[in-house]
Amino acid sequence: MTEETQDNPLLNQAGEYLTFTLGDEEYAIDILKVQEIRGYDAVTRIANTPDYIKGVINMRGVIVPVVDMRLKFHLGNATYDQFTVMIILNLGQRIVGMVVDSVSDVVALKLDEIRPAPDFGASFDTQYLLGLATVGERMAIVVDIEKLMTSQEMGLIDQLAGV
Amino acid sequence: MNIDLSQFHQVFIDEAYEHLGTMEQLLLALDVEDPSLEDLNAIFRAAHSIKGGSGTFGFSDIASLTHALETLLDKLRKQTLAVTDEMISAFLSCCDLLSAMLEAHQDGSPVDEAQIEVVRAELLRLGDESVVLAEPPAASETTYAEIESVTAPIWLIDLHPQSDIFSGAASIDAVSEDLAALGQLSVINQQPNSHISWRLQGPEDPDVISEIFAFICQPSEVTIQPELRDDAVEEDEGFGFFVDEAELPAQQAQNEAEQGFGFFVELDELPANQAAAQEQQQGYGFFVDEASLPVASSSADAISNQPMQKSQVSLAQKNRSETPKHQAETSIRVGVEKVDQLINLVGELVITRSMLAQSASQLDSVEYESIHNGLVNLERNSRDLQEAVMSIRMLPINFVFGRFPRVVRDLTQKMHKKVRLKLVGEETELDKGLIEKLADPLTHLLRNSIDHGIETPEIRRAAGKPEEGTITLSASHQGGSILVEIVDDGAGLNREKLLEKAREKNLAISENPTDKEVWQLIFAPGFSTAKEVTDVSGRGVGMDVVQRNIAEMKGQVEIESIPGVGTTIGLRLPLTLAILDGMTLRVGKEIFILPLTRILESFQPEPEQLKTVSGKGRVVQMRGEYLPLLELYKTLNLEPEVTEPEKGILVVVETNSDKVALFVDELIAQQQVVIKSLETHYRKVDGISGATIMGDGRVALILDIDKLARMHSTDNQLQKG
């Protein structure tokens, strides 16, 4: 999390976004945080973790955790087949895999296209939302993915107090 | 030509560290009685290299200190002087100081200038006073002229009262304080009968100083005189006569030098009423002047004054980048992350190879013979490559051991004990990561051994032991692990005292504890049996830290002790943190790795061997022993293939406190795995110590037996509750 995004959340929003779907909802994340998109494969389960943490995978020698967003936010059906996609996110020092229903598009969004989000309407806590955007006919929920993934709620990172 | 030399600073600093390391090692190994000329030469060369380099790169403070060092060394090497213990100590403190100065140049931290002054004064004094023993070496005197200039006058104050004046109302401290208010003060010599010598830099007029003493003693009892750089004859009018030495005629320099060390032979040249102690001060006072100056300014002056080409050197010290402070032996310096990256890549190669091999196994072996041959070669090569890359991380344990002769020397001097340190198996190779982590615990154990273990020479003599205690530091390979032992022939642990202390601290102890249990007490936090807290040890923090550090390295601490004979503390460590000899096992569809070193045996139990304790926990009977049964599928919430232990297999593993029988579906194979951290991108997982990548590219988790056993017992307690 850079200070810029905290100080002025609007600053980082102009740019390209990757949109993906979870159930009926369409989400958008900053494409610069995306390292790659790959199929769901060979995930090693980790004991005694919440169900949405699917386990870890081997990403070219690096052990990377995988989160199923469908389970985390109870959206869509969590099925795993050859069409299941995983977005590999590169969040500063950390790499995280995120399972979604499907990846849709890469869209360019300008500042004024992203409107502030109301307090409801998404499964995500609004503190992780940057706003709502209209993409063609559809509406995309723009998510601050780094803030979400590094949050305590996701349990992906040892919180200082918990160590 | 104007080359920016700052780009080479890092190279110089690295090299200087290397030279310092060599020097320290040689110094410690040097036999004072019969010094080897070869070693002396090597020490001299190291000092000389540092001096040369520092001069070239404009680190003039280092250059001038090493110059003093080199001068003395030169005399030793030419055998005009005999080596003394005092000299070795001075050399060592000089090494420390140089190291601190290098660090200062590197990251801009401040240097203790007073310390530099003290050390250089010491070096010069040693060099000067002993020359009496032999003819003065002509070559080295003129080199004094290379050293620099003075600004503020320096006074040598010598108080030699008839009676012990400080026993009355006047206090030494008050006088010192008054003097310190005038300028930079250092005590040169202090004797019990109020006889004190100071060295003061600052006031222009000596009357200011004598005023201070007017109240406490007769004027005749105190001598104040300028610290001379010139002939003693000029003493009276010599105030403020401090010219740059480089400008002095060589003859004059010669005089100075002679006078400097000639405090016995040239007595007649000095005013008769001066005490001998004073002359001595004066003797070494001659050459220390510039040391007391702020280093930065004096060195800059010095350089511009020197008839060398040093003045052309760019003084810019831009290169203060952060670099690792470790001192390596002759080698290429490569960042650890590069090596780790290499290890990762090789791991990937191995995995890719096994995937290829899997695909190729479906091909007809006659038709595609060359592919199969190629794969066999690839396998061999990649295995060799893996081993070679792994070995980059291995370093001889001498890297940690090497610093201990110094530690022991310093500590024994401080505590007035006699200890000989014996190093065994210094060439044993260990993973770099481990070596770094081993330094602190070992230092601690060594300190403990010297402080608590080894007795004072008197007690030792009374006990019929040689006065000199021996501490042996040894390292050896034992199977898949490394055993580092610290053996002392001291008093041994005192069982009664430990138990008493444990009761005092309300630590849980059994009725009739075994020795082993008693020794474990010293690992309890805050536990110390030292009667008084010294600055070396006795605060009770330490042993628990040692154990924790060792446990972090997946090692164990073993203690053996016999009262009056000594104590042995053994640290058993895995060879490397990067690779693990593991047993792959399966529960349901999951593959796990179990550290091989922890496995005692495995067996398939008969139903009658299994017993239930209080309806919940299960135990298995094995040769009269009852081991708790740890069902991995329950602890880790897995779906097993079999839930009956008699259909699966039990692996008896050693935890840090006990043994448990681990129930799994199947043991697969023994194999070496590369340990990867889960915490890099995820977080710590209970019961799992890390992860690895299997031949098929999947991730397998490495079990943390100790943690699993703890989880198991808590589970049982919860169920009971």
CATH class of domain segment(s) B5-145 = mainly alpha
Query: How many CB atoms are closer than 10 A to CB B524?
Result: 18
CB B38 within 8 A of CB B46: no
Q: Distance from B289 to chain A by nearest Cα, in Å?
A: 53
Cα A90 to Cα A84: distance, rounded to the nearest angstrom? 20
B684 — contact with chain A (CB < 8 Å)?
yes
Half-sphere exposure of B597 (CA within 13 A, CB side): 20
pLDDT interval class at B697 (50, 70, 90): confident
pLDDT interval class at B129 (50, 70, 90): low
Cα B336 to Cα B370: distance, rounded to the nearest angstrom? 38
CB B671 within 8 A of CB B694: no
Cα B434 to Cα B400: distance, rounded to the nearest angstrom? 10
Task: Say yes or no for a CB contact (<8 Å) between A44 and B683.
Answer: no
Of B636, B679, B684, the CB nearest to A47: B636
pLDDT score of B292 more than 60: no
**Can you give the residue ranges of every domain in chain B?**
5-145, 154-292, 336-393, 396-574, 579-720
Which amino acid, one-letter code, is at B38? E
Q: What is the pLDDT of residues B300-339, one digit of tens each?
A: 444 444 444 333 333 333 333 333 444 445 667 778 788 8
Residue in B closest to A89 by C-alpha: B681
Average the pLDDT over each of B29-43, B208-222, B500-514 and give the range with the smallest value: B208-222
Task: Say yes or no for a CB contact (<8 Å) between B680 and A55.
Answer: no
Strand partners, B625: B622
Q: Distance from A90 to chain B by nearest Cα, in Å?
A: 10
pLDDT at B216: 65
Residue in A closest to B697 by C-alpha: A58
pLDDT at A86: 92
Which amino acid, one-letter code, is at B558? E
Residue of A53, A54, A63, A67 to mutate, interface with B, max B Cβ within 10 Å: A63
Q: Distance from B579 to chain A by nearest Cα, in Å?
A: 14
pLDDT at B283: 41
Residues on chain A touching B347 (C-beta within 8 angstroms): 61
Task: Say yes or no for a CB contact (<8 Å) between A94 and B683.
Answer: no
Q: Distance from B346 to chain A by nearest Cα, in Å?
A: 10
Residues on chain A touching B677 (C-beta within 8 angstroms): 63
3-state secondary structure B498-552: HHHHHHHCCCCCCCCCCHHHHHHHHHCCCCCCCCCCCCCCCCCCCHHHHHHHHHH
CB B138 within 8 A of CB B74: no
Average pLDDT, integer, range B559-581: 80
Task: Say yes or no for a CB contact (<8 Å) between B678 and A60.
Answer: no
pLDDT at B416: 83
pLDDT at A98: 92
Task: Say yes or no for a CB contact (<8 Å) between B698 and A44.
Answer: yes
pLDDT at B206: 66
Cα A65 to Cα A70: distance, rounded to the nearest angstrom? 15
Which amino acid, one-letter code, is at B145? A
Chain A residues within 8 angstroms (CB to CB) of chain B: 42, 44-49, 55-58, 60-65, 94-96, 155-158, 163
The second-level CATH assignment, the architecture, of B579-720 is Beta Barrel (2.40)
How far is CA B704 from its chain centroid?
A: 31
pLDDT at A88: 93
pLDDT score of A91 more than 60: yes
> In degrees rounded to 5, what are phi and psi of residue B426?
-65, -20
- Burial state string for B110-144 with b = 16 or more CB within 10 A and e = fewer than 16: ebebeebbbbbbbbbbbbbbbbeeeebbeebbeeb
Average pLDDT, integer, range B474-480: 77
- Own/partner contacts of B240-243, CB < 8 Å, gap of 24 or more, are B240/B153, B240/B204, B242/B149, B242/B150, B242/B151, B242/B153, B242/B289, B243/B149
pLDDT interval class at B284 (50, 70, 90): very low
Residue in B closest to A91 by C-alpha: B681
Average the pLDDT over each of B123-132, B253-262, B610-619 and give the range with the smallest value: B253-262
DSSP state of A18: E
Burial of residue B337, with CB atoms counted within 10 A of its CB: 0-12 exposed, 13-18 middle, 19 or more buried: exposed
Distance between terminal CA atoms of chain A?
A: 21
Q: Distance from B653 to chain A by nearest Cα, in Å?
A: 20
Q: Distance from A41 to chain B by nearest Cα, in Å?
A: 9
Of A49, A55, A95, the CB nearest to B681: A95
Of B345, B637, B699, the CB nearest to A63: B699
Task: Tally C-beta pairs within 8 A across A and B.
Answer: 75
pLDDT interval class at B590 (50, 70, 90): confident
- Please identify among residues 326-355 of chain B the ones whose CB lies closer than 8 Å to any CB of chain A: 344-345, 347-348
> In degrees rounded to 5, what are phi and psi of residue B118?
-60, -45
| Average pLDDT over chain A, rounded to an integer | 80
Q: Which residue has the tokens 């009357």?
A: B207
Task: Say yes or no for a CB contact (<8 Å) between B700 and A44.
Answer: yes
Residue of A44, A96, A149, A157 to mutate, interface with B, max B Cβ within 10 Å: A44
Q: What is the pLDDT of residues B200-225, one digit of tens each?
A: 776 666 666 776 666 666 666 777 77
B693 — contact with chain A (CB < 8 Å)?
yes
Give the start-end residues of each E strand in A40-123.
Answer: 53-59, 62-68, 85-91, 94-100, 102-109, 114-115
Task: Say yes or no for a CB contact (<8 Å) between A49 and B685.
Answer: yes
Half-sphere exposure of B350 (CA within 13 A, CB side): 23
B251 — contact with chain A (CB < 8 Å)?
no
Of B590, B683, B685, the CB nearest to A157: B683
Cα B402 to Cα B96: distance, rounded to the nearest angstrom? 15
Q: Distance from A92 to chain B by nearest Cα, in Å?
A: 10
Residues on chain A touching B698 (C-beta within 8 angstroms): 42, 44, 58
Of A61, A156, A163, the CB nearest to B348: A61
Task: Say yes or no for a CB contact (<8 Å) between B345 and A158.
Answer: no
Which one is predicted more confidently, A5 or B196? B196
Burial of residue B407, with CB atoms counted within 10 A of its CB: 0-12 exposed, 13-18 middle, 19 or more buried: middle
| Structure-block tokens of residue B179 | 């003097």
Q: Distance from A56 to chain B by nearest Cα, in Å?
A: 7
Residues on chain B touching A96 (C-beta within 8 angstroms): 681
- Per the rule left: phi > 0, alpha: psi between -120 and 50, beta: everything else, B321 is beta
B5-145 and B336-393: same fold?
no
pLDDT interval class at B544 (50, 70, 90): confident
Of A48, A49, A63, the CB nearest to B691: A63
pLDDT score of B135 more than 50: no
B679 — contact with chain A (CB < 8 Å)?
yes
- State percent of chain B over pLDDT 70: 69
B584 — contact with chain A (CB < 8 Å)?
no
The answer regarding whether domain B336-393 maps to CATH 1.10.287 reads yes
pLDDT score of B454 more than 90: no
pLDDT at B278: 45
Residue in B closest to A156 by C-alpha: B682
Q: What is the pLDDT of residues B154-200, one digit of tens each?
A: 777 777 766 666 554 456 666 777 777 667 777 777 766 667 777 77
pLDDT score of A87 more than 90: yes
Residues on chain B touching A163 (C-beta within 8 angstroms): 684
pLDDT at A19: 92
Task: Say yes or no for a CB contact (<8 Å) between A57 and B699.
Answer: yes
Residue in A closest to B680 by C-alpha: A94
pLDDT at A99: 92
pLDDT score of B694 more than 50: yes
How many residues can be counted in chain B? 721
Average pLDDT, integer, range A48-60: 86
Q: Distance from B660 to chain A by nearest Cα, in Å?
A: 20
pLDDT at B266: 41
| Average pLDDT over chain B, rounded to an integer | 72
Average pLDDT, integer, range B599-626: 83
Residue in B closest to A44 by C-alpha: B699
3-state secondary structure B441-490: HHHHHHHHHHHHHCCCHHHHHHCCCCCCEEEEEEEEEECCEEEEEEEECC
Residues on chain A touching B339 (C-beta within 8 angstroms): none
Q: Which residue has the tokens 């005694």?
A: A48
Paired sense of beta strands A94-100 and A62-68, if any: parallel
CB A123 within 8 A of CB A52: no
CB A57 within 8 A of CB A70: no
CATH superfamily of B396-574: Histidine kinase-like ATPase, C-terminal domain (3.30.565.10)
Residues on chain A touching B700 (C-beta within 8 angstroms): 44
How far is CA A50 from its chain centroid?
A: 17
Cα B632 to Cα B629: distance, rounded to the nearest angstrom? 9
- Please identify among residues 500-539 of chain B the ones whose CB lies closer than 8 Å to any CB of chain A: none
Domains in chain A, start-ordered, CATH in brackets?
3-147 (2.40.50.180)
Cα B130 to Cα B132: distance, rounded to the nearest angstrom? 5
Residue of A40, A41, A56 to mutate, interface with B, max B Cβ within 10 Å: A56
| Structure-block tokens of residue B7 | 């780009």
Residues on chain A touching B337 (C-beta within 8 angstroms): none
pLDDT interval class at B350 (50, 70, 90): confident
pLDDT at B717: 65
Average the pLDDT over each of A81-95, A109-123, A124-138, B656-670 and give the range with the smallest value: A109-123
Residue in B closest to A149 by C-alpha: B682
